[in-house]
Amino acid sequence: MESEIKARDLSFLSENWRALLAAEFEKPYFEDIRAFLKKELKQGHTFFPAKEKVFRALKLVDFADVRVVIIGQDPYHGIGQANGLAFAVEQGIPAPPSLQNIFKEIEKDIGKGRPTNTTLENWAKQGVLLLNTVLTVRAHTAFSHRGKGWEKFTDSVIEKLNHKTTPIIFMLWGAAAQSKANMITNPIHNILKAPHPSPLSAHRGFLGCKHFSKANEILRNHNISEIDWNL
């Protein structure tokens, strides 16, 4: 992990993100993240996603291309699930319940059938940044890497996005994501809030939130091409 996140080699980020986030990798809190992850490995723990995919969301979607940001909590903690994009899983892995509910909402909201591509890479190619608030997790232990410094890093990502002069739609699902709302102060951006798509909370307002059609309506109103959520 250490070799992946040293500031002298930021090839795991897209070009504009490298320039914007380089300083973060030199800050004390990021040294704490490095130390924590090294300790996890030394103690025999596995963490997800694989080290080369920890920053994958920021590799696939360059800063200049971001149109929609979907903020999650932390990665899936099952073996082979997390692929570096919030809510997504590796190809061939069954969709977890949260992703099933996301697809169910898209089917009802957009009306073009239920998506089947669980990697969500086609969303990323259209400028949808799928960002967890915490970028790693110990195997089989949800929320195990909270409070270790990742929140500061993702705060910095959102701070940079807040200063963009083109509109972004932020979809904040659940308490962890909505805790970032106070960082989005630029009036050009739009915030859509709903409960988390987990089966524990989806019925409280995520299902029926219509965020996907609302996002496309906002994009149309700004003469920006829509997202094809069914890809």
Q: Can you tell me the distance from the alpha carbon of 140 to that of 200, in angstroms, rounded to the nearest whole number? A: 18
**What is the CA 8 to chain-centroid distance, rounded?**
24
Q: In the prediction, which pLDDT does 8 show?
A: 55
- The confidence score (pLDDT) of residue 28 equals 97
Model-level pTM?
0.94
Q: Nearest CA to 49 among 100, 90, 17, 107?
A: 90
Cis peptide before 97 (omega within 30 of 0): no
- The set of residues, in sequence order, having a beta carbon less than 8 Å from that of 196 and lying 6+ positions away, is 73, 98, 173, 174, 175, 177, 202, 206
Digit-by-digit pLDDT tens for the chain (231 residues) are 544 444 457 999 999 999 999 999 999 999 999 999 999 999 999 999 999 999 999 999 999 999 999 999 999 999 889 999 999 998 899 999 999 999 999 999 999 999 999 999 999 999 999 999 999 999 999 889 999 999 999 999 999 999 999 999 999 999 989 999 999 999 999 999 999 999 999 999 999 999 999 999 999 999 999 999 998
Q: Which backbone phi and psi does 121 adopt, to 5 degrees?
A: -65, -30
Tens digit of pLDDT for each residue in 62-77?
999 999 999 999 999 9
Which DSSP helix (H) or strand (E) runs through 194?
strand 190-194
* Fold category of 2-221 in CATH: Uracil-DNA Glycosylase, subunit E (3.40.470)
Q: Residues 6 or more apart from 23 whose CB is under 8 A from it? A: none
Which residues are catalytic, by number?
A: 74
